[in-house]
Amino acid sequence: MNETLKNIAERYSCRDFDDTPLTGEQIEKLVNAALAAPSARNIQPWHVTVVTDKSLIDELDAAGMEVLAGEEDKTFYKLMMERGGRMFYNAPCAFVITADGSDWGVLDSGILCQNIVLAAQSLGLGTCIVGLLRVPLGGPKGEGFKERLKFKKGYEFVVGILTGTVKSGKQPHELDHNKVTYIK
């Protein structure tokens, strides 16, 4: 199997990172992989914020857990508690992807996201794609977090990617071929 297909097959959502910070070289490679992503008409409607300030990641985590704890539907809160009580799994680095609201912004940001996670896998790093970053960003401290994350005017959160060294791993999910229809 070639290296690209191997990285795709072996990648999984890491939910247990150790404290090792990413190196500048690792971050640069991930950023370059992100920026190499194609986009509709090459508009590149995204903005990437790389967060290595562990205290800020921990604040986002705590604020998100507070919001989940206060929700009437406790589904996500219970899930996070079962996973150790942390939304962001002790990740030392988070990529926060925002887009400009254009027609292709979300789709193009998803392509950029896939580039980051596959590049991280190729570097031996774990990743977890997290939509739940929307929780602290939409909570009572959200506007302050957006300022600290330097959201560009007119840009909204699309997706987050937690990245770091895997503390404990797991197997990738099983492939479900029932999700595919062939038309010949």
Q: pLDDT by residue (tens digit) across 14-54?
A: 999 999 999 999 999 999 999 999 999 999 999 999 999 99
Helix (H, G, I), strand (E, B) or coil at 138: helix
Domain span including residue 154: 3-167
CATH of the domain at 117: 3.40.109.10
How open is the CA angle 59-81-69, to the nearest 5 degrees? 65
Q: How far apart are CA 9 and CA 104, in angstroms?
A: 27
Q: How far apart are CA 64 and CA 71, in angstroms?
A: 11
Residue 32 placed within a domain: yes
Spell out, as residue ranges, where the chain has pLDDT lower than 50: none
Pick the closest to residue 48 from 102, 2, 111 (CA basis).
Answer: 111
Residue 173 placed within a domain: no
**What's the pLDDT score for residue 67?**
96
Residue 35 placed within a domain: yes
Residue 174 placed within a domain: no
Model-level pTM?
0.94
Residue 182 placed within a domain: no
Residue 179 placed within a domain: no
Q: What is the H or E stretch that residue 49 is in?
A: strand 46-51
Please give the structure tokens belonging to residue 36: 């190499």
Total structural domains within the chain:
1
Pick the closest to residue 31 from 15, 8, 47, 9 (CA basis).
Answer: 47
Residue 175 placed within a domain: no
